[in-house]
């Protein structure tokens, strides 16, 4: 009996939302693998169906997410690959995700790039995925289900280049406003890089931090934020350059 395996890395929760939207079009039992904290070996069978979602980080899939996904193998398991980006650029991320899933013995039957709010520059793609996005995503999911039933493979070309663009660390600071912090330690548990010390949630080790935004989005007091001169200088320019709406793309 097939399980739907939802696999995602989703620091600000929109990639998870897209994966769940797709998965809900299948009436099988569902399991979740949240790569913010799941970091173990796993293998699926050819009866399972994987829905795998990654956010785009500087044109790639996030380095830590990649390392965790490398431990998850298929056995000719049908897979739907999705990268979710902030209305700027996908660059090589979708190609990288499809390549990695194939290397891990998944049978990638379909792929998509979807647009969601920008998790750093919060003036970009506000409110997305919206109603129109979700309608398109559900239509895509139904086509995926038909393809899997008929045993058809992926026939579309996936955009991107090999070698992929190099990983780039963003020069922004992640900081915490001590006066707002309630010391709930949610950010400590959410951080995939162990960059926030267990005994001091005010601190962030910027050498370890990948700027993923998980701590910022989970904080119930809005105490954590992107900050610093580089961030403040880039924000208006970036938001202006990426204000025009982009649409999701689907590959079957
Ligand atoms: C470190 C970092 C780098 C990002 N790089 C890109 C990018 O190259 N292109 C883009 O369109 N969006 C980029 N984004 C925005 C995210 O891809 C987008 O907000 C995505 O929806 C986040 O998914 P999540 O809600 O699951 O965390 C970046 C976000 C972060 C945190
Ligand atoms: S400290 Fe850095 S790596 Fe950790 S959750 Fe926050 S943004 Fe992500
Ligand atoms: S999640 Fe926010 S309130 Fe809780 S410890 Fe972290 S910074 Fe403080």
| Three-class secondary structure of residue 34 per DSSP | strand
Q: Which ligand is nearest to the CA of 215?
A: 2
Cα-only R_g, the chain: 18
Q: Which atom of ligand 2 is nearest to the CA of 212?
A: 8
Task: Kindly report, residue by residue over 125-173, the tens digit of the pLDDT.
Answer: 999 999 999 999 999 999 999 999 999 999 999 999 999 999 999 999 9
Residue 159: DSSP 8-state: P
Average pLDDT over residues 239-252: 98
Q: Is 61 in the pocket of ligand 3 (CB under 6 A)?
A: no
Residue 208: per-residue pLDDT: 98
Residue nearest to atom 2 of ligand 2 (CA): 209
Report how far ligand 2's centroid is from the alpha carbon of 191 (Å).
5
Report how far ligand 3's centroid is from the alpha carbon of 31 (Å).
29
- C-alpha span between 87 and 100 (Å, rounded): 23
Average pLDDT over residues 201-230: 98
The token pair at 56 is: 């785009």
| Three-class secondary structure of residue 47 per DSSP | coil
Averaged pLDDT score across all residues of the chain: 97
- C-alpha span between 213 and 118 (Å, rounded): 10
Whole-Å CA distances, 196 to 40, 51, 193, 225, 227: 22, 30, 8, 13, 16
Q: 173-227 belongs to which CATH class?
A: alpha beta
Pairing of strands 3-8, 77-85: unpaired
The token pair at 45 is: 């069978």
| Three-class secondary structure of residue 32 per DSSP | strand
Task: Kindly report, residue by residue over 90-126, the tens digit of the pLDDT.
Answer: 999 999 999 999 999 999 999 999 999 999 999 999 9
- The CATH 3.40.50.360 domain(s) of the chain lie at 3-163+245-251
Q: Which ligand is nearest to the CA of 113?
A: 1
Share of the chain above pLDDT 70, in %: 100
Residue 2: per-residue pLDDT: 85
Task: Kindly report, residue by residue over 26-75, the tens digit of the pLDDT.
Answer: 999 999 999 999 999 999 999 999 999 999 999 999 999 999 999 999 99
Core vs surface per residue 6-35: b (16+ CB within 10 A) or e: bbbbbbbbbbbbbbbbbbebbeeeeeebeb
Quick one: 170 exposed, middle or buried, by C-beta within 10 A (0-12, 13-18, 19+)?
middle
**Architecture of the structural domain at 3-163+245-251:** 3-Layer(aba) Sandwich (3.40)
- With CA atoms as reference, report the closest residue to 110 among 61, 57, 150, 71: 150
pLDDT band (50, 70, 90) for residue 1: low
**Residue with token string 């809005």:** 222
Pocket test for ligand 2, best of 37, 194, 207, 211 (most atoms within 8 A of CB): 211
Average pLDDT over residues 227-243: 98
Residue nearest to atom 4 of ligand 2 (CA): 191
- C-alpha span between 137 and 142 (Å, rounded): 9
Q: Is 204 in the pocket of ligand 2 (CB under 6 A)?
A: yes
- The CATH 3.30.70.20 domain(s) of the chain lie at 173-227
């Amino acid at each position: 009996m097939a399980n739907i395996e939802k696999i995602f890395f989703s620091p600000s929760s929109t990639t998870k939302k897209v994966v769940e939207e797709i998965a809900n079009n299948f009436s099988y039992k569902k399991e979740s693998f949240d790569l913010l904290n799941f970091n173990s070996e796993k293998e699926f069978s050819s009866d399972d169906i994987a829905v795998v979602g990654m956010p785009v980080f500087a044109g790639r899939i996030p380095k830590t997410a990649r390392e965790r996904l490398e431990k998850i193998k298929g056995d000719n398991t049908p897979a739907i690959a999705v990268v979710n980006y902030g209305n700027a650029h996908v660059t090589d991320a979708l190609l990288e995700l499809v390549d990695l899933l194939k290397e891990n013995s998944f049978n990638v039957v379909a792929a998509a790039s979807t647009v969601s709010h920008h998790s750093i520059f919060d003036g970009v793609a506000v409110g997305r995925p919206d109603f129109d996005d979700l309608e398109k995503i559900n239509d895509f999911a139904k086509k995926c289900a038909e393809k899997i039933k008929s045993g058809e493979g992926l026939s579309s070309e996936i955009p991107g280049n090999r070698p992929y663009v190099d990983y780039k660390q963003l020069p922004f600071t992640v900081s915490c406003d001590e006066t707002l912090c309630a010391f709930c330690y949610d950010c400590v548990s959410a951080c995939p890089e162990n960059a926030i010390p267990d005994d001091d949630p005010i601190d962030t080790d910027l050498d370890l931090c990948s700027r993923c935004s998980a701590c910022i989005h989970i904080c119930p007091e809005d105490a954590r934020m992107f900050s610093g001169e580089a961030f403040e200088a880039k924000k208006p320019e970036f938001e202006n350059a990426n204000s025009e709406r982009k649409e999701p793309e689907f590959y079957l």
